[in-house]
Amino acid sequence: MVQNNVDKIKTGELLKVTNGKKTYLGTLMPKSELGRKNTIVLKLENGYNVGIAVTPKTKIEILKKAKKIAKAKKEPIKFDSKKKTIAILHTGGTIASKVDYETGAVSASFSPEEILGMFPEISRIANFKSKLIANALSENLRFAHYNLFIDAIAKEIKSGIDGIILTHGTDTMSYTAAALSFALENVPIPVIIVGAQRSSDRGSSDAAMNLVCASHFIAKTKFAGVAICMHEGTSDTTCAINPATKTRKMHTSRRDAFKAINAGKIATVDSKTGNIIFDTKDYTKKHDKKMVVRKFRDVKVGILRAHPNMTEEEIDVYTKNKFDGLVIEGTGLGHLNIISFDEKSKPNEKVFAKLKKLIESGCVVAMTSQAVYGRVNMNVYSAGRELLSIGVLGNICDMLPETAFVKLSWLLSNFKKEDIKRLYGTNLRGEITERSEEEFFED
């Protein structure tokens, strides 16, 4: 029994910790440099971590010594000429990572041998090659990383690969999916983005299932283009193949966090049988058209969320810092507080004046809505019509704000201003639906 002495316990040991009336069973995790003194972190059996304050009355019992997780076996891979070959390109995230409880480090497996060691079930589906192209938390990515992904994908396509799985962190997965969709025109094979909401060391991890379903989809269908493959429900039964430019992360931690918005999913993949049911016939099939690649420049594009009591300074910052573009997440049908109706609302006139000045400076401004479903319609109310009169784009569009941000950034990277005004409201990669359907509203 160890009491009041955390120095004698080691990372990776299974502990029984009694603190007051509560008892915890779990594996001791490494101490963060930012963690509080006299606090330990346990990974519980359900996969969640809990921080426990160690007091003079805390009792700590070591139930099992630390044991290092064995490395995946690197057995020779047999190539099956009857199977398709899939390239797994890793950009970071948790899908191919595991925790070494002796060192506390998170190690990532990227060689084909290591991937098959972690997920042996995929070897029955296809041949695999694997490559690390980045190792970043997705919230830290920049346009330069998108270009890195684009180059790696283009190289694999040129090599004659049958399909590509891009592993990615979930935080900005929808941004990257949209970026690849716009940058790679006429993609001739499936490029499926896969992530994991829960790390692979947890019993409830979605890493293996998402990877397996993506592999089945590539190996068994004629789909071509960019899509996202993630859990469809809370159980381990099916994954949804969702459209790249219409999908949003709708929950911080649920495994079925990714949903298609204002559109339906492309297909459903049964994780047990590998059976695939398409939800639409309107998808691109594999072809031999020439792929056109247009990458990103380091343009300055911002996102501004409309809210009550906005000030002129919030608009002015984009003018002073010479932004190339701005996406506004407007209220309702696409509104901003720009109209004065009494003495108290006079500052709204200054907001409108600053927005007009911003557009006159050359900044391209587009409107989206904070509402998740539906589309922008600035023809209905006077505020919307005023915004249209000064050149705000996006009317009658139903683009997600993140897709609008990526599309505007890509357009500014590749086209002239006069072309951007036309192309922004044109459906290029399925980002704008022709008409809103009630069936796509999430109850």
Of 85, 91, 170, 319, which is the active-site residue? 170
Q: Which helix (H) or strand (E) covers residue 107, if one does?
A: strand 106-108
Of 98, 249, 265, 295, which is the active-site residue? 249
Distances (CA, A) of 304 to 160, 365, 413: 42, 10, 20
Give strand pairing partners of 258: 249
Of 16, 83, 103, 171, which is the active-site residue? 171
| CA–CA separation, 424 and 408 (whole Å) | 7
171 is catalytic: yes
Which residue, 77, 75, 111, 74, is CA-closest to 96? 111
| CA–CA separation, 276 and 291 (whole Å) | 27
Strand segments (E) across 133-175: 163-167
331 is catalytic: no
Of 94, 238, 319, 433, which is the active-site residue? 94
In degrees, rounded to 5, the angle at the alpha carbon of residue 123 between the alpha carbons of residues 118 and 129 is 80
249 is catalytic: yes
201 is catalytic: no
CB 262 within 8 A of CB 374: yes
Neighbours of 439 (CB within 10 A): 6
Which residue, 220, 207, 267, 189, is CA-closest to 126? 220
Residues with catalytic function: 94, 170-171, 249
